[in-house]
Amino acid sequence: MSASMVVKFRTAAQLTGGRVLLWSLLGRLPNAMSPIGTLLLVSRNTGSVWCGSLVAGALAGGQAVGGPLVGRLADRRGQRTVGLVAALVNATALVALVAASEDGLALGWQVAAAALIGLSVPLVGPLSRSRWVRLAAGEPELTSTMLSLDGIVDEIGFTAGPALVGVLATVVSPSVGLLTAAALSGVCATLFALHPTASPGVPKSPAGNGERLLSTPYVLLLAGMALLGACFGSVQVGVTATTEALGRPGAAGLLYGFIGCTSSVAGIATAALPARWGLPSRLRAGTVLLFTASCVLLVSGGGLWTLTAAVGLLGVAVAPQMITMFGLVERTVPAARLGEAMAVLVSALILAQSAGTFLGGWATTHFSPAAPFAVTAAAAATALLLAACTATERRYRRREPSAPATPDPVGEPVGR
């Protein structure tokens, strides 16, 4: 890492405070742990993978619906109150799911508990990005650095969460994994919500939350994030099916971790890009890399080492794409609704990931273990076409605020 990058990350960390970065990392782990933990727990206790998938699907559906609602409430009422309530409800719902599954209650009760887990996710990731953008105060280079730093934190959580719950499920039991997630949500997400960097919220008014969220640039970003989610879901199925066909099912988890590692490195490198290379140009370049990686997956030949190289290349495209799209959201939506906008973007990713998983599973069943990578390539090609036709500086020029920004109530320094 170059000296300039170290200085940039140090400045960003000083602005946020070291402790809140730690709470941000630990507080978003339950979001990564809950889906696989739920699948493992319910599948083990019912003896049916289908039942486990149904309950895990209810969790994902709840998150897709609840995320934007929690984000909207956080923008209006403040992250502190909404984040605290969400963290406590989420922890309680996780414990309730474990109790319902271990006691063998009817599947409907388990589905209800899982849906509540999804509805009450504390949104530590989206709300972190909203905080960092606000603290950067519109300074483009600092905003890019802080989003890159958050992207690294996100990738660590994405990689460590499933690994942690998988280890706990293997060594102890799946219930311990979900109870650990409940503890992290109840403690660390609460500490994140209560940190002084939490935004106070903007009262509902014509100058605040009355501004429209949807616009053409924002809808295009939602479409781009959805296509990235479809790539995630189909790659996950393809990697799982291919490693099983190769007689190395245990390698799937390592490959997922490798994607997270290469994505984290790419996220760090994103901060070193010069400010003159605008976000729309980065988006177009990122989709080229995403499409290239998907093509490499298609021709990888089914070998483990070629598959590893291909998914590693795919990981390089992931973090820069997400960081760029989150940066463009900050330009295109009202500042008073930034938390909600970030949450809706994540919901688009989650829903499309589920669709990509479904299509990848169908392709595996009807064609071959590597067939899901064709779904990946199709989604990446569509993303490339979309970015090439729409990602321009004119379309994504910075939005002019309609009213003075809410004063930052946090003193200096923000707080370690």
Query: What pLDDT does 122 receive?
Result: 86
Can you tell me the distance from the alpha carbon of 194 to that of 187, in angstroms, rounded to the nearest whole number? 11
Q: Is the pLDDT of residue 78 over 90?
A: no
Residue 234 lies in a domain: yes
Greatest Cα-to-Cα distance within the chain, rounded to the nearest angstrom? 61
Query: What pLDDT does 226 receive?
Result: 93
- Indicate if 314 and 379 belong to the same structural domain: yes
Counted domains in the chain: 2
Residue 117 lies in a domain: yes
- Indicate if 196 and 212 belong to the same structural domain: no
Structural tokens at position 76: 């209006």
- Indicate if 48 and 113 belong to the same structural domain: yes
Q: Residue 70: is it exposed, middle or buried by C-beta count within 10 angstroms (0-12/13-18/19+)?
A: buried
- Indicate if 269 and 369 belong to the same structural domain: yes
Residue 359 lies in a domain: yes
Contact 184, 27 (CB under 8 A): yes
- Indicate if 145 and 243 belong to the same structural domain: no
Query: Where does a domain end: 176, 201, 226?
Result: 201
- Indicate if 287 and 360 belong to the same structural domain: yes
Residue 373 lies in a domain: yes
Query: What pLDDT does 138 receive?
Result: 66
Give whole-number Cα distances, 22 to 12, 64, 143, in Å. Answer: 14, 25, 19
Residue 225: Cβ within 10 Å count: 24
Q: Is the pLDDT of residue 121 over 80?
A: yes
- Indicate if 58 and 197 belong to the same structural domain: yes
Nearest to 179 by CA among 239, 107, 258, 96: 96
Query: What pLDDT does 132 receive?
Result: 79
Query: What pLDDT does 200 receive?
Result: 66
Structural tokens at position 322: 């997400």
Query: What pLDDT does 237 receive?
Result: 77
Task: Give the residue with greater pLDDT, 381 vs 122.
Answer: 381
> Average pLDDT of the chain?
80
The CATH number of residue 174's host domain is: 1.20.1250.20
Q: Report the pLDDT averaged over residues 194-204.
A: 69
89 backbone dihedrals φ, ψ, rounded to 5°: -65, -40
pLDDT band at 160 (very low <50, low <70, confident <90, very high): confident
Residue 310 lies in a domain: yes
Q: Report the pLDDT averaged over residues 289-313.
A: 85
Give the whole-number percent of the chain exceeding pLDDT 70: 84
- Indicate if 320 and 374 belong to the same structural domain: yes
Structural tokens at position 293: 């990686």
Q: Cβ neighbours of residue 389 under 8 Å, at least 6 residues apart?
A: none
pLDDT band at 143 (very low <50, low <70, confident <90, very high): confident
pLDDT band at 47 (very low <50, low <70, confident <90, very high): confident
Contact 233, 372 (CB under 8 A): no
Residue with tokens 């630990």: 26
Nearest to 64 by CA among 323, 354, 337, 328: 354
Give the whole-number percent of the chain exceeding pLDDT 90: 20
Q: Is the pLDDT of residue 192 over 70?
A: yes
Q: Is the pLDDT of residue 413 over 50?
A: no
Query: Where does a domain end: 201, 223, 248?
Result: 201
Least confident of 30-39, 240-249, 315-324, 399-408: 399-408
3-state helix, strand, coil in the chain (%, to 5): 80, 0, 20
Residue 274 lies in a domain: yes
Q: Is the pLDDT of residue 403 over 50?
A: no
pLDDT band at 410 (very low <50, low <70, confident <90, very high): very low
Rg (CA), the chain: 21
Give whole-number Cα distances, 75 to 199, 210, 336, 346, in Å. Answer: 8, 12, 6, 16
- Indicate if 133 and 270 belong to the same structural domain: no
Q: Report the pLDDT averaged over residues 379-395.
A: 90
Residue 341 lies in a domain: yes
Query: Which domain covers residue 325, as residue numbers?
Result: 208-399
Exposure class string for 253-268: b at 16+ Cβ within 10 A, else e? bebbbbbbebbbbbbb
- Indicate if 235 and 112 belong to the same structural domain: no
Query: What pLDDT does 361 receive?
Result: 78
Query: Where does a domain end: 201, 216, 240?
Result: 201
Structural tokens at position 251: 């390698």
Contact 121, 66 (CB under 8 A): yes
Least confident of 1-10, 119-128, 145-154, 312-321: 1-10
Q: Report the pLDDT averaged over residues 123-150.
A: 77
Q: What is this structure's pTM?
A: 0.74
Q: Is the pLDDT of residue 209 over 70?
A: no
pLDDT digits (tens, 9 = 90+) for 339-366: 788 888 888 888 888 788 778 878 888 8
pLDDT band at 100 (very low <50, low <70, confident <90, very high): very high
Q: Cβ neighbours of residue 42 under 8 Å, at least 6 residues apart?
A: 51, 52, 55, 56, 101, 110
Can you tell me the distance from the alpha carbon of 356 to that of 348, in angstroms, rounded to the nearest whole number? 12
Q: According to the per-residue pLDDT averaged within each range, which of 20-34, 97-111, 231-245, 351-365 is highest?
A: 97-111
Residue 415 lies in a domain: no
- Give, for 80, the enclosing helix (H) or strand (E): helix 79-102
pLDDT digits (tens, 9 = 90+) for 8-33: 666 666 666 667 888 888 998 888 88
- Indicate if 62 and 97 belong to the same structural domain: yes
- Indicate if 147 and 280 belong to the same structural domain: no
Query: What pLDDT does 205 receive?
Result: 46
Cα dihedral 377/378/379/383 (nearest 10): 90
